[in-house]
Amino acid sequence: MDMSRSVNVKLLRPRDSVDRETLIAQYRRVRKMTTDLASPLSIEDQCVQPMTEASPTKWHLAHTSWFLEAFVLAAYHPDFAPYDERFLFLFNSYYESLGPRQPRPQRGMITRPSLAEVHAYRTWVDRALTDFVADCDDGVLAEATGLIELGLHHEQQHQELILTDIKYTLSLNPVEAIYLPAAREECGFPTAHEWVEFDGGAVPIGYGGSGFSYDNERPRHRVLLQPYALGNRLVTCREYLEFMDAGGYSQPQYWLSDGWATVCSQGWRAPLYWRQHQDCGWETFTLHGWRALAAEEPVCHVSFYEAMAYASWAGARLPTEFEWETATANLPLEGHFIDSDCLQPQPARPGPGLRQAFGDAWCWTRSSYDPYPGFRPLAGAVAEYNGKFMVGQLVLRGGSCATPPGHVRASYRNYFPPGTRWQFSGIRLAKDL
Q: ∠58-61-67 over CA atoms, to 5°?
A: 130
Whether residue 140 sits in one domain with residue 55? yes
> What is the predicted pLDDT for the residue at 155?
98
Looking at the structure of the chain, the number of domains it has is: 2
Q: Decide which of 109, 138, 171 is a domain's last residue.
A: 171
Whether residue 219 sits in one domain with residue 70? no
Closest CA to 105 of 116, 94, 95: 94
- On whether the CB atoms of residues 122 and 61 are closer than 8 A, the answer is yes
Q: What is the CATH number of the domain that holds 75?
A: 1.20.120
> What is the predicted pLDDT for the residue at 3?
38
Q: Which domain holds residue 369?
A: 195-432
Q: Are strands 414-416 and 430-432 parallel, antiparallel or unpaired?
A: unpaired
In a structure prediction context, what are the per-residue pLDDT tens digits for the chain, which is 433 residues long? 443 333 333 333 435 578 999 999 999 999 999 999 999 999 999 999 999 999 999 999 999 999 999 999 999 998 899 999 999 999 999 999 999 999 999 999 999 999 999 999 999 999 999 999 999 999 999 999 999 999 999 999 999 999 999 999 999 999 989 999 876 666 667 889 999 999 999 999 999 998 899 999 999 999 999 999 999 999 999 999 999 999 999 999 999 999 999 999 999 999 999 999 877 799 999 999 999 999 999 999 999 999 999 999 999 999 999 999 999 999 999 999 998 789 999 999 989 999 999 999 999 999 999 999 999 998 889 999 999 999 999 999 999 999 999 999 999 999 999 999 999 999 999 999 9
Whether residue 118 sits in one domain with residue 20? yes
Whether residue 34 sits in one domain with residue 106? yes
> What is the predicted pLDDT for the residue at 190?
83
Asked if the structure places residue 60 within a domain, the reply is yes
Asked if the structure places residue 3 within a domain, the reply is no
